[in-house]
């Protein structure tokens, strides 16, 4: 997603990846601990820059020089980090350099956490995927919208970001103070913005779906989305550098990495009222913590294996025969290959988080300069040993169109 203006508010972009089958380890993978076993984050995070994969380093340096890549990268195979680096500026105006521990606004990568939280509540019997949103929010203005349709972007809802942006501009409301999820749900109930189409008519990637899911998590648990994530996901996964930051809570988001939009350093982004709602965005994290998230999911520390597998099943028609969307994860399938991933695009941040399920490869790229450098990753995929995850990689025209 871009700045808050009008252009593009769909935080994920360009690729589509994953698996429709189970997340079994490759025989070559390091054995993961079970759900209740000690979770050795020190071993998972161990890395010596002297042993950096030379091919990957060459690709990343070239991507930085020729495509302006600015961000942090981590690549892990078979349970070990083989490449990790911070490249460029955290805040160009103050010439602050990125550190490997720098926290980025994850944009739509947040959706994978929201999905995990919803599936946790399902396992606990606190909700069902076919529950109607009206069960939790009786004033919700749309009929027939279920949790399952929200998870798969088939609700037909309008995009709340456009709707709220128009409302705030037309009524000259305070654009510095963030609004809460509850306040956003109340606005939708009051103004009843026209939906795009009927529920379950088709796939339509939409941030409203996961904002509503974040609101349901708050309603069902009685906790804030931030507290729920901290207690049930970040803490069990030992993600010590990850948090939810909402402008409805913080006057200034307490991180040092600044998003830069339009591919130019002079367009730094200041958070505003649209950085209040969470669930579709709002989580801030590091490349290392996203690697631990992968390990925790694979080890069954967060969800049962059957539940996790269900999230990786394509729930929409395949695009180009390879790409779909499951429960909060994008899906890529090829013969003998399964990759799941999510992208993010919001307020000058653009990311891709990929998990090759069968071959146990994880790639994390977090950037704070939206310049299209992540559209040129073919060489990285080849160096890593992953299939080329690009929407039109198999028809030869090089199109990298997104949502």
Instruction: Render the burial of 274-310: b for 16+ CB within 10 Å, e for the rest.
Output: bbbbbbbbbbbbbbbbbbbbbbbbbbbbbbeeebbbb
The C-alpha atoms of residue 267 and residue 271 are separated, in whole angstroms, by 13
Residues 157-207 pLDDT 10s = 999 999 999 999 999 998 889 999 999 999 999 999 999 999 999 999 999
Strand segments (E) across 330-403: 330-334, 337-346, 349-356, 361-367
Mean pLDDT, the chain, integer: 90
- Per DSSP, the residues of 157-170 read ---HHHHHHHHHHH
HSE-CB at 310 with a 13 A cutoff on CA atoms is 15
| Contact criterion met (CB below 8 Å) for 156 and 195 | yes
- Per DSSP, the residues of 177-222 read SPPPHHHHHHHHHHH-PPPSS-TTSS----HHHHHHHHHHHHHHHS
What DSSP state is assigned to residue 57? H
Model pLDDT, residue 38: 76
Model pLDDT, residue 15: 38
| Burial category of 341 from C-beta neighbours within 10 Å (exposed 0-12, middle 13-18, buried 19 and up) | buried
Topology adopted by domain 41-384: Beta-lactamase (3.40.710)
Model pLDDT, residue 109: 98
Q: Which of 149, 122, 125, 145 is nearest to 135 (CA)?
A: 145
Model pLDDT, residue 33: 62
What are the average pLDDT values for consecutive 10-residue runs of the chain, which has 403 residues? 39 37 41 70 96 98 97 97 98 96 98 98 98 98 98 97 95 92 98 97 97 98 98 98 98 96 92 96 98 97 97 95 96 93 97 97 98 95 95 57 39
What DSSP state is assigned to residue 127? -
> Is the pTM for the entire model greater than 0.95?
no
Residues 376-389 pLDDT 10s = 999 999 999 999 99
Strand segments (E) across 233-291: 243-244, 283-285
HSE-CB at 114 with a 13 A cutoff on CA atoms is 37
Model pLDDT, residue 303: 97
The C-alpha atoms of residue 177 and residue 27 are separated, in whole angstroms, by 51
Compute CA distances 124 → 293, 307, 337, whole Å. Answer: 21, 12, 32
| Contact criterion met (CB below 8 Å) for 362 and 50 | no
State the CB neighbour count (10 A cutoff) for residue 398. Answer: 10
| Contact criterion met (CB below 8 Å) for 326 and 339 | no
Q: Which of 233, 279, 241, 274 is nearest to 257 (CA)?
A: 241
Model pLDDT, residue 390: 86
The C-alpha atoms of residue 168 and residue 177 are separated, in whole angstroms, by 11
* Token code pair at residue 147: 């949790």
Residues in the chain, overall count: 403
């Amino acid at each position: 997603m871009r700045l808050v203006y009008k252009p593009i508010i769909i935080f994920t972009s360009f690729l589509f990846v994953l698996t429709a089958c189970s997340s079994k380890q490759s025989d070559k993978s390091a054995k993961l601990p079970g759900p209740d076993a000690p979770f050795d984050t020190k071993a998972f995070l161990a890395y010596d820059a002297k042993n950096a994969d030379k091919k990957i380093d060459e690709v990343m340096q070239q991507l930085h020089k020729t495509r302006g890549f600015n961000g942090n990268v981590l690549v892990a195979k078979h349970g070990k980090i083989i490449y990790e680096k911070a490249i460029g500026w955290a805040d160009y105006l103050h010439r602050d350099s990125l550190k490997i521990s720098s926290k980025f606004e994850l944009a739509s990568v947040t959706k994978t956490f929201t999905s995990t939280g919803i599936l946790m509540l399902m396992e606990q019997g606190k909700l069902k995927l076919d529950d109607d949103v009206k069960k939790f929010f009786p004033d919700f203005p749309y009929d027939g919208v279920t949790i399952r349709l929200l998870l798969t972007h088939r609700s037909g809802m309008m995009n709340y970001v456009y709707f709220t942006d128009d409302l705030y501009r037309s009524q000259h409301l305070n654009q510095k103070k963030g609004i809460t999820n509850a306040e956003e749900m109340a606005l939708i109930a009051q103004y009843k913005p026209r939906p795009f189409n009927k529920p379950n008519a088709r796939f339509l990637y939409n941030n409203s779906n996961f904002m509503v899911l974040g609101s349901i998590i708050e309603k069902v648990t009685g906790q804030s989305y931030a507290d729920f994530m901290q207690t049930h996901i970040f803490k069990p996964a030992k993600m010590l550098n990850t948090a939810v930051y909402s402008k409805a809570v913080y006057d200034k988001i307490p991180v040092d990495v600044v998003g830069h939009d339009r591919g130019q350093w002079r367009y730094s982004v200041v958070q505003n009222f649209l950085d209040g709602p969470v669930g579709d965005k709002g989580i801030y994290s590091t490349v290392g913590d996203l690697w631990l998230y992968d390990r925790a999911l694979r080890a069954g520390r967060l969800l049962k294996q059957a539940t996790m597998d269900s999230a990786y099943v394509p729930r929409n028609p395949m695009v180009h025969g390879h790409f779909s969307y499951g429960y909060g994860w994008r899906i890529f399938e090829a013969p003998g290959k399964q990759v799941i991933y999510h992208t993010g695009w919001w307020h000058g941040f653009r990311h891709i988080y990929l998990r090759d399920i069968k071959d146990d490869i994880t790639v994390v790229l977090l950037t704070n300069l939206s310049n299209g450098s992540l559209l040129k990753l073919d060489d990285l995929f080849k160096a890593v040993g992953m299939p080329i995850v690009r929407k039109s990689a198999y028809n030869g025209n090089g199109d990298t169109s997104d949502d």
